[in-house]
Amino acid sequence: MRGLALCFLLLAAMAGPVAAQGERDTHPRAMELRDRIERQFAERVKNELGLTDEQAAKLKAIATEYGGHRRELRRREVDLRAALDAQFRDGATSDQDSVARLTKELLDLRVEYAESWRKEMGKLSSFLIPVQRARLLVMRERLLQRVHEMRNERRGFRGRGDVH
């Protein structure tokens, strides 16, 4: 329980800096907080999944590889959404070809994002059993969901049911 509380505390501290689009990966405080959360989460994963030091090291290497790729995909998604929002602000004068292209790129990006999870889980299958992989996936989803909720609360979406 203490570990979960610490994780939420760290997520709360991270929500502001991480939400800043341009500074989220270069702001020293954001990077420090993300590193601290990642270390705490890695320790929690190691304990809850009963990983050996060798398994934890392999997991870290694979998670770093795929995590970096997914962060880049999320940055691209932010850019695509901003471009779509700009088109929507134009209303009836929106460039239909541009909206179609941006929508296709956004959908392709989502497929690529999901495929990166599939590939990562495939690599993890060489040293984690199915139950460990499934628990890891659930733990990650809960962490990401909580980060998303906290970002939305900070941005004022609380209680409005906004989904992004």
**pLDDT by position in tens, the chain (length 164):** 444 444 433 443 333 333 333 334 568 888 888 889 889 999 999 999 999 999 999 999 999 999 999 999 999 999 999 999 998 887 767 888 999 999 999 999 999 999 999 999 999 999 999 999 999 999 999 998 988 898 888 887 655 454 44
* Residue 151: partners with Cβ closer than 8 Å, 6 or more residues away: 15, 18, 19
CATH topology for 53-127 is Four Helix Bundle (Hemerythrin (Met), subunit A) (1.20.120)
The whole-number pLDDT of residue 156 equals: 78
The whole-number pLDDT of residue 26 equals: 65
Give the CA distances from residue 72 to residues 2, 5, 37, 75, 112, in Å, rounded to whole numbers and listed in that order. 32, 29, 19, 5, 11
pTM of the model: 0.70
Angle (CA) 68 44 132, round 5°:
80
Q: How far apart are CA 90 and CA 111, in angstroms?
A: 28
The residues spanned by each domain of the chain are 1-51+136-164, 53-127
The whole-number pLDDT of residue 34 equals: 83
The whole-number pLDDT of residue 132 equals: 97
The whole-number pLDDT of residue 3 equals: 47
Buried b (16+ CB within 10 A) or exposed e, 111-143: eeeeebeeebbebbeeebeeebbebbeeebeeb
The whole-number pLDDT of residue 157 equals: 63
* Residue 7: partners with Cβ closer than 8 Å, 6 or more residues away: 37, 40, 41, 44, 143
